[in-house]
Chain A
Amino acid sequence: MSVSRVEITPKSLGKPSIRERLANLFQEIRANKVAYLFLAPYAIIFLTFVVVPVGVSIGLSFTHYNMLEPPVWIGWSNYIRLFLMDDVFLIAVKNTLVYAFITGPLSYIACFIFAWMINELKPKLRALLTLLLYAPSISGNVFLVWTIIFSGDSHGYINGFLLRFGITPEPIQWLQDPRFILPIIILVVLWLSLGTSFLVFIAGLQGVDSTLYEAGAMDGIRNRWQELWYITLPSMRPQLMFGAVISITQAFTVSQHAIALAGFPSTDYAARTVVTHLIDYGNVRFEMGYACTIATVLFVVMLITQRLVQKWLRNIG
């Protein structure tokens, strides 16, 4: 190991100079060569397909780009157009926020409550119910069954039921009537929502130290609600945070299911979300610059929401 010559100046006594720090850093990197080798294959792919695209997207959002001609820099024009001139975008934002603020918290709470209820059961029954509740989220396009259940003709389950008992004189156009589209999508999204977060919570609940409950009972905890608030929730805060990350991301991107249920484009844009708006401009109209602007706005909004929710969750229990 070589000892570098260091000039003794008052400054370098306090903290190392930049050159020294660089030398240290370089040495540390060389000492950890193996770790970098282990990380490299994944890191290259992750950077290429996740990090670089975010940068490119932000860059393109300031351009006019249609994939045929090279991008032209147009500054903030796309953003101005998006917020001030695009009426459909405002509908999309409204719908996205409605979806996100209803399905996000609802599905998050549902994931927790059902995990908590299941946790009370005996192991065999618990495994069975976990499977039953988790299955919809991994069952691929089975959710399309809901289009049959809510089908607009008399063969739809709900219409068939309503007609038979004479509740309505004629079939209701569930998926074409803007009044019903939103609630139906929310219902279906909730049906699909007991996914990763749900498993995370089940695992978190099983990991809570059971002696804490005994100690709590000694200290005067009287019912399951107090136990939940004072012991269970604080003990599984890390899982709650992780579950929130997953739920928020899902809540903002319900597009796929909205398209499948209500069609694309939907009546009066009732199922238009920011993501379907993005797909419209990116995949249909090839206004890539503008589509990237939408993507960037969505990205920023998602990150801000995540940060706010994380901050808020720290105070729970």
Chain B
Amino acid sequence: MRLGRSRLNRTLGGDIILFLVLLVTAIFMSFPLVYTISNAFKPLNELFLFPPRLFVRNPTLDNFRDLFVLMSSSWVPFSRYAFNTLLITLLGTGGHVLLGSMAAFALSQHKFPGGKLFFNVVVISLMFAPQVTAIPNYLIMSRLNWVDTYLSVIVPAWGMSLGLYLMKQFMDQVPKALLESARIDGASEFRVFWSIVMPIVKPAWLTLIILSFQQLWGQTGGQFIYSEHLKPLPYALQQIVAGGIARAGVAAAVSLVMMIVPISIFILNQSRVVETMGASGIKE
């Protein structure tokens, strides 16, 4: 043991370099975030200051007030956009966690013909981007008559493959003997799933909630939703930001509102997410 240092194979010089690199990176990474937060509170004369300044001097809530004025003067009431986003996010996330966990339970705790094959297809689907299937997806939506309905955004979110993958890998760690003893005691398969497995895999479904939430929270409705009264919040906010340079302050306020929710949810669940990711590895 060298000089009583607590960890093996570490030098003080190395630690200092490591710390400096991390410090510089942290500044680089957080600069745009700090900038956005600061801009959201800047009065007009500070926003267009030359040369530009990073930190706000006389913080004001004007930008948020302007945001609400703009929102209340819009054709579709603001509350409707907010409702759409909440509905899409809650139903999409809820369905994904439930269906994904059920499927993961079947794949992880049962051996049946086709199960391995299905899981391999899910893993392959992780390997390509959704853009590849955008056009056929539209065709399928129009066949189902789902274009311009909430369903077109909610239902596909239930089938996200990353969620099923993470859940299945995490469930693989649940000891089979535990489930066996419950079955011997006469518990139905659904009961085993709901009262034994689900409580154990809580970190995993919290992670699924976060991943799915992030995706749906930023959902603009894109190519599927045309009616103004069905459009979600990010779409409305995009329109406000599209007002150009005159709305720079409001745009920063919008960005702040949109980023604060997913980041807060992550802060609350950070350790569970990391625990879930630990099980995520691809075994050979």
A: which residues have CB within 8 A of B?
Answer: 25, 28-29, 32, 34-36, 38-39, 41-43, 45-46, 48-54, 56-57, 60, 114, 117-118, 120-121, 127, 129-136, 138-146, 148-149, 154-157, 160-161, 163-164, 191, 194, 196, 199-200, 202-204, 206-207, 213-214, 216-217, 221-224, 226-227, 236-242, 245-246, 248-249, 252-253, 255, 275, 278-279, 282-283, 288, 291-292, 295-296, 298-299, 302-303, 306, 310, 314
B116-142: which have CB < 8 Å to A?
118, 121-129, 131-137, 139-140
Query: Do the beta carbons of A149 and B32 come within 8 Å of each other?
Result: yes
- Residues of B contacting A306 in the complex (Cβ-Cβ under 8 angstroms): 127
Instruction: For chain B, residues 124 to 162, give those with C-beta under 8 angstroms from any C-beta of chain A.
Output: 124-129, 131-137, 139-140, 155-156, 158-159, 161-162
Interface residues on chain B, number (Cβ under 8 Å) = 92
CB distance from B269 to the nearest CB of A (A): 11
Residue of A nearest to B245 (CB): A155
- In the bound assembly, the distance between CA atoms of A182 and B186 in angstroms comes to 63
**A218–B103 CA distance with the chains assembled, in angstroms:** 46
Instruction: Say yes or no: B26 contacts A54, CB within 8 Å.
Output: no
Within 8 Å CB of B193, what residues of A? 38
Known contacts A136-B33, A200-B280, A241-B281, A131 near B127 by CB under 8 Å: no
Residue of B nearest to A309 (CB): B127
Cα distance A314–B131 in the bound complex, in angstroms: 29
Answer whether residue B51 sits at the interface, using C-beta atoms and an 8 A cutoff.
yes
Closest A residue to B260 using CB positions: A139
A239 near B281 with CB under 8 A, answer yes
A129 and B22 within 8 A (CB): yes
Q: A36-B106, A139-B259, A155-B48 are in contact. Are A207 and B278 (CB under 8 A)?
A: yes
B270 touches A131 (CB 8 A): yes
Check if B201 is an interface residue, CB within 8 A of chain A. Answer: no
In B76-135, which residues have CB < 8 Å from any A CB? 99-100, 102-103, 105-107, 110-113, 115, 118, 121-129, 131-135
Residue of A nearest to B258 (CB): A140
Report, nearest first, the 7 A-B pairs whose CB atoms are least far apart. Answer: A238-B281, A203-B278, A42-B103, A53-B133, A32-B112, A53-B136, A56-B136
